[in-house]
Amino acid sequence: MTTRVLLADDQALLAGTFQVLIDAADGLEVVATAGDGEQAVRLARSTTPDVVVMDIRMPRQDGLSAAEQITTDPQLNGTRVLILTTFETDDYITRALRAGVSGFLGKGVGPAEFLAAIRTVAAGDMVLSPLATHTVVTRYLAASSPDRPQATPREMDHLTPREQEVLLCAAEGLTNDEIAERLCVSPLTVRTFVQRIMHKLGAHHRGQLVALAYRTGFARVPQPPPARPRTGPAP
């Protein structure tokens, strides 16, 4: 089955490069391109893509507000949003997650990681860059919410050794494909492990699962990765 992608980026050169990369990949195709958030929402409603790859800073309507419109539209409940931006700030990451996006990556990612992220998001999983993972963890640890899962270190002991390995990899911000490569298993096997771990720990999504690993002390809170130097015009 082909994963249908909508690209939203106001830089035509970048959008064209992304389109060539996606269309050349097995099982992926670009069904439409948008130059601003307003157009992205309109095209998402008319083409119902599987994944919208969304920039943040765009004219007329920014990518975050457009993402929220897409994720809250009942007619687009099968459409996932992957944010791809130069600006990996805490504020943007937090706002993006609140808007219901399924992924957040910086534009410094390599082609293979970019394509893997699209496939992961399309499969219903979440993808976060190392910096986004750090933001999720630190914000979650600082938050006081009575309805969040209250897993304890002892509950972590109920995980099998392989489940613990998968959880530690997820806590590093690795995608399912990256975990599969590290552990020499299939991505489908990794996805099954992640779902099983979430069930055991009472987590509702991947970001929550990762945060639990740190809050219980199972994983150490990561230091934010150094920002990549900007080599081109801002999006």
pLDDT of residue 220: 66
pLDDT of residue 114: 92
pLDDT of residue 217: 75
pLDDT of residue 233: 46
Q: Do 149 and 208 meet the contact criterion of CB atoms below 8 Å apart?
A: yes
Residue 132 burial by Cβ neighbours in a 10 Å radius (0-12, 13-18, 19+): buried
Give the Cα separation of 235 and 233 in Å (integer).
6
Q: Do 118 and 126 meet the contact criterion of CB atoms below 8 Å apart?
A: no
Residue with tokens 């975990």: 179
Q: What is the pLDDT of residues 30-58, one digit of tens each?
A: 999 999 999 999 999 999 999 999 999 99
pLDDT of residue 131: 66
CA 173, 176, 180, 185 torsion: positive or negative?
Answer: positive
Residue with tokens 């130059």: 35
Q: How many helices (H) and strands (E) does the chain have?
A: 11, 6
Same fold, 3-128 and 149-215: no
pLDDT of residue 234: 47
Q: Where are the domains of the chain?
A: 3-128, 149-215
What CATH number belongs to 149-215? 1.10.10.10
**Percent with pLDDT over 70 in the chain:** 81
Task: Tell me the average confidence (pLDDT) per consecutive run of 10 residues in the chain, 235 residues long.
Answer: 95 92 96 96 97 94 95 92 88 84 87 90 80 64 48 70 90 81 91 88 74 75 51 47
pLDDT of residue 133: 65
What CATH number belongs to 3-128? 3.40.50.2300
pLDDT of residue 136: 64
